[in-house]
Amino acid sequence: MHRERGAVDAPFDRYKDRTWSLASEYQWAAADNLDVVAGISYDLRDSRQGMKHEKSGDITHYANNSQNDFNWQLMTKYHFANEDTLSLSFSDRTRFPTLKERYTTSKPAYNGQTVLVNPHLNPERVQAIDVTWNGTFTRDWAYDVSVYYNRVNDAILGHTIDANTLQNRNSGRVDYTGLDLGVKGRVTEMLDLGLSYGLIHADVKQDEVGKVTDLPTHTLVAWMTFKPCETLSFTMSQEALSSAYNSSDAKQRASDFTVTNLRADYDVGRGVSVNASVNNLFNTEYAYNEGFIEQGRNFWAGIAYKF
């Protein structure tokens, strides 16, 4: 359920969905070194309410958008003698449009720009294949490589209707091809390192649709954890994203950026730990959407209990 209002004394707009899922999974050790996992599910999304108070005083009640569908997936995993694994998975699944995708009027790039709601969005249907290798270089160093292909039908994308009007719409077929790489390990007893990289390419099949929005082609995350003693650790992480289109006509684009974060964790004992972090350490100005600058340097503190 989402509620919002335009002023402190204004009535609330209300949007509500209820989702039911029934799922089953079967795991089969087909051989000593081969596992097979199969799963099916039935999902029902019941649209309960879509109510908006207009500036004129009228109330708009949006049409029902209840949807349901079956999903399935199948994975095989082969275990090598050196403990490396190779897995191959197939799936055919549905993703229901969210409340935000159907009812949002947010993210205008400038005054006068309007985002139209679309309560009648159809769900996306995706057929996916994934091949993943998990391996080790040495006892202290591991890596993983994954390649995948997703064919999305009725893809939900943002459309630039004209210079002042945007709307989320079902946009035919979009193919996504991607590569994920990761490596992590221990340099010394006190120092761990990790690096992950993601590459994704979107191929829009309908020429009139334009660009897929809010999708960086390259994503890179690196981290290192220094442990001067058993109870204390310091982690520095670096996140880098390439530029991304924010409008389907390619006229709005968020620039690439790099952000650094620093975190400290201390284990008090008996399952209790405390932490403190400085996010965006160098106060970098960056945005996921053009014109919407993210937080500058900010500080956090927390406490955690592990059962």
Q: SS3 for 207?
A: helix
User: What tokens does 180 get?
Assistant: 């994920």
Q: What average pLDDT score do residues 215-238 get?
A: 97
Predicted model pTM:
0.88
DSSP 94-156: EEPPPHHHHH-----SSTT-EEE--TTPPPEEEEEEEEEEEEESSSSEEEEEEEEEEEEES-E
CATH code of the domain made up of 2-305: 2.40.170.20
What are the structural domain ranges in the chain? Answer: 2-305
Model confidence band, residue 111 (pLDDT cutoffs 50, 70, 90): low
Rg (CA), the chain: 23
Residue 133 to residue 10: CA distance in whole angstroms: 55
Asked whether the predicted pLDDT for residue 148 surpasses 70, the reply is yes
Residues 196/180, Cβ–Cβ less than 8 Å? yes
Residues 43/69, Cβ–Cβ less than 8 Å? yes
Residue 192 to residue 184: CA distance in whole angstroms: 7
Paired with 266 in beta bridges are 232, 274
CA angle (158 as vertex; 287, 250 as ends), nearest 5:
60
Classify each residue of 101-110 as buried b or exposed e, where b means 16 or more C-beta atoms within 10 Å of its C-beta: bbbbeebebe
- What are the tens digits of pLDDT across the range 54-71? 888 899 999 888 999 999
Residue 86 to residue 133: CA distance in whole angstroms: 5
Asked whether the predicted pLDDT for residue 249 surpasses 80, the reply is yes
User: What tokens does 289 get?
Assistant: 């959407």
